[in-house]
Amino acid sequence: MKTMQLAARNLARNRRRSATTLFAMVVGVVAVLLFGGYIRTINLGLQTDYVRRAGHLQVQHKDYFLFGSGNPAAYGIADPDALIAAIKSDPLLASMLTVVTPTLSLGGIAGNYAAGVSRTVLGSGVVVADQNRLRLWNDYSFPGHPRTLALTGTAPQAAVIGTGVARVLQLCGPLKVRDCPMPQPTLADGAAVPGDIAALAAADAPAAAAGSDGPQIELLAANAHGAPNVARLDVVAAEVQGVKEFDDLFVQLHLPAAQRLVYGNEAPRATAIVIQLKHTALLPQARERLTALLKARFPQAQLAVVDFATLNPQYGQITGMFAAIFSFIALLIGVIVLFTVSNTMSMAVVERTTEIGTLRALGLRRGGIRRLFVSEGLLLGIVGSVAGALVALGLAWLVNHAGLSWTPPGNSTPVALQVRVAGEWTMVISTAVGLALVAVISAWWPARRAARLEIVEALRHV
């Protein structure tokens, strides 16, 4: 205790140098914490977006993830309702779940034959009410309210397409899509719907064709046996998907319409069962229990459990990149603090050489001299860390309440700019402790040099 008191007095003797060193340390802590809080916001925001779109876990056919994009119908899950009921009724899983819903992916060709255009698309059949519940997940308390699906409250034959699909199919005008240039026409008049496709579409939804005066598309897809099937869909909206490649392929429709298109009058299937948990921390436990349940109840179904990070490999790539950047910046700031404190301590040793000699002459051992200077470095580290953490908390609060927004990659709408420092106490404590250790290490070498001074030489120093 006496050593710390003496260290504090020594630091107060040269207030300007001590204040300059503390300022550098505070700036370093603030920079690390604010950047770390920003990265934390990005990571949790990405996770929230993926979980809202496709849940924490998905039950799929064991080969669907690797090979299903070529022919999704071939990897459909038989009797998805029985599987969903088994998951919901499991006593261990029931307390973890928020949403369990089936989805059906399909590939096909969407055509606007009145304009003589078509393009390949990737369709997704969903249960609209369940998808709206998925979007309510907000485990990390991000501000704002998610939008409901554009399919909400629409007819069974309704569909939503990406703005890229609308652009190619020349539906921007009817769907009121802005910034959508029209291509140069290649045909003087719109091409008529091929007879076989028109017949299939009319047989599939005669009521929809007769009662709708809005934009329509014909979605041609292969059924489960490889034969072509067509559905005529009423397009209710075109939405930006955030990624152009996805925007140029996106078609979303009601699950029964997608099942009828792919499986006809046969028993409907699903390509995935989406499972959303109350908290991401429950994911390992839920995955283990779900895997055991599938093996016990559905041993012949050849099912697998896939988590959101596996389904979205870019999540690991993005978080890994930011982790590497954060580590580099933290290392760079640590080196700056190291040399700053080391320089301060070295100058203190030079200025107090005679004092060191006097203390040694009075009986203070070399270890006492080392402890004195190391204590000064530790005190600088503690004060700088605490002050830096408090300043970072204040600046983060100001940023979070400034009303700033930005559009992350892959998002179509702006989100609030947040810097998560408050609540991330592991990051705050580790940064403060790390800086204090850096300060101690940087003070050790000058302290060692001070302790090795000979008493006579130190007393003769002018």
Q: How does residue 410 score in pLDDT terms, banded at 50, 70 and 90?
A: low
> Which segment of 50-54, 194-198, 201-205 scores lowest on mean pLDDT?
201-205
Instruction: Output the pLDDT for position 431.
Output: 92
Q: Do 324 and 411 reside in the same domain of the chain?
A: yes
Residue 321 phi/psi, 5° resolution? -65, -45
192 has pLDDT over 90: no
Given a contact cutoff of 8 angstroms between Cβ atoms, the answer to whether 243 and 237 are in contact is no
| In-domain check, residue 52 | no
Q: Which residues have a Cβ under 8 Å from the Cβ of 98 and sit 6 or more positions away?
A: 133, 137, 276, 277, 278
Residue 238 lies in a domain: yes
Q: What percent of the chain has pLDDT over 70?
A: 91
Q: Are 6 and 400 in contact (CB under 8 A)?
A: no
pLDDT at residue 204 in the model: 53
- Helix residue ranges, H only, 224-281: 244-247, 255-263
145-165 average pLDDT score: 93
The stretches of 143-282 forming alpha helices (DSSP H) are: 163-168, 172-175, 195-204, 206-211, 244-247, 255-263
One domain, residues 294 and 429: no
- Locate 384 and state its tokens: 């700088």
Give the residue numbers spanning the domain of 327.
2-47+316-460
- Residues 321 and 387 occupy one common structural domain: yes
The region of weakest confidence among 269-273, 315-319, 450-454 is 450-454
Give the mean pLDDT of 446-462: 75
Determine contact, residues 217/205, Cβ cutoff 8 Å: no
Beta bridge partners of 111: 118, 218
For residue 425, give every residue at least 6 positions away whose Cβ sits within 8 Å of its Cβ, in sequence order, or none.
none
The tokens of 447 are what? 């302290």
Lowest mean pLDDT among 208-222, 365-379, 381-395, 441-455: 208-222
Question: Does the structure show a pLDDT above 80 at 196?
Answer: no
Taking residues 157-171, report their average pLDDT: 93
In this structure, are 30 and 118 located in the same domain? no
pTM (2 decimals)?
0.83
pLDDT of 193:
52
Whether residue 323 sits in one domain with residue 181: no
The SS3 assignment for 408 reads coil
Using an 8 Å Cβ cutoff, are 439 and 377 in contact? yes
Domain count, the chain: 2
Nearest-angstrom CA–CA distance, 452 and 430:
33
pLDDT exceeds 50 at position 207: no
Mean per-residue pLDDT for 103-121? 90
Q: Which two tokens stand for residue 417?
A: 């700019």
Torsion region of 363: left, alpha or beta (phi above 0 gives left; psi -120 to 50 gives alpha): left
Which pLDDT does position 99 carry in this prediction?
A: 96
Average pLDDT over residues 121-145: 93
- The verdict on 187 and 277 lying in the same domain is yes
- Of 6-15, 271-280, 431-440, which gets the smallest average pLDDT? 6-15
Q: Is residue 204 part of a domain?
A: yes
Over residues 343-352, mean pLDDT:
81
Q: Number of C-alpha atoms within 13 angstroms, CB side, residue 232?
A: 23
Per-residue pLDDT, averaged over 7-24, amounts to 84
Please write the tens of the pLDDT for every residue from 355-376.
778 877 877 788 888 888 888 8
252 Cβ contact partners less than 8 Å away, ≥ 6 residues apart: 123, 124, 125, 126, 149, 151, 159, 160, 161
Please indicate, yes or no, whether residues 220 and 335 belong to a single structural domain of this protein.
no
On whether residue 134 sits in a domain, the answer given is: yes
Same domain, 326 and 267: no
Q: What is the pLDDT of residue 197?
A: 55
The pair phi, psi for residue 219, each rounded to 5°, is: -105, 110
Q: pLDDT grade, residue 188 (50/70/90)?
A: very low
Among 72-81, 149-158, 186-195, name the most confident range. Answer: 149-158
Are residue 150 and residue 282 in the same domain, yes or no? Answer: yes
H or E, element range at 452: none
- Of the residues 243, 273, 301, the one at which a domain ends: 301
Position 209 scores a pLDDT of 44
Same domain, 277 and 234: yes
pLDDT of amino acid 82? 94
Q: Is residue 229 part of a domain?
A: yes
Is residue 56, in this structure, part of any structural domain at all? no
Does residue 335 sit in the same domain as residue 445? Answer: yes
Taking alpha carbons only, the member of 253, 234, 231 closest to residue 103 is 253
209 and 349 in a single domain? The answer is no
77-78 vs 269-270, strand pairing mode: antiparallel
Question: Lowest mean pLDDT: which of 346-350, 389-393, 456-460?
Answer: 456-460
pLDDT higher than 70, residue 16: yes
For residue 442, being part of any structural domain is answered with yes
Which residue blocks in 163-238 are alpha helix, DSSP H? Answer: 163-168, 172-175, 195-204, 206-211
More confident residue, 72 or 198: 72
pLDDT at residue 150 greater than cutoff 70:
yes
Which residue, 301, 332, 350, sits at the end of a domain? 301
Question: 49 pLDDT exceeds 70?
Answer: yes
Give the domain-ending residue among 232, 267, 301. Answer: 301
Considering the domain boundaries, does residue 57 fall inside one?
A: no
Integer Cα distance of 117 and 111 in angstroms: 6
User: Which two tokens mark 458?
Assistant: 């130190």
Does residue 409 have a pLDDT over 80?
Answer: no
As a whole number, mean pLDDT of residues 207-236 equals: 79
The DSSP code for 149 is P
Please tell me the predicted confidence (pLDDT) of residue 56: 96
pLDDT value for 8: 83
Average pLDDT, the chain: 86
What's the rounded Cα separation, in Å, for the pair 256 and 122? 16
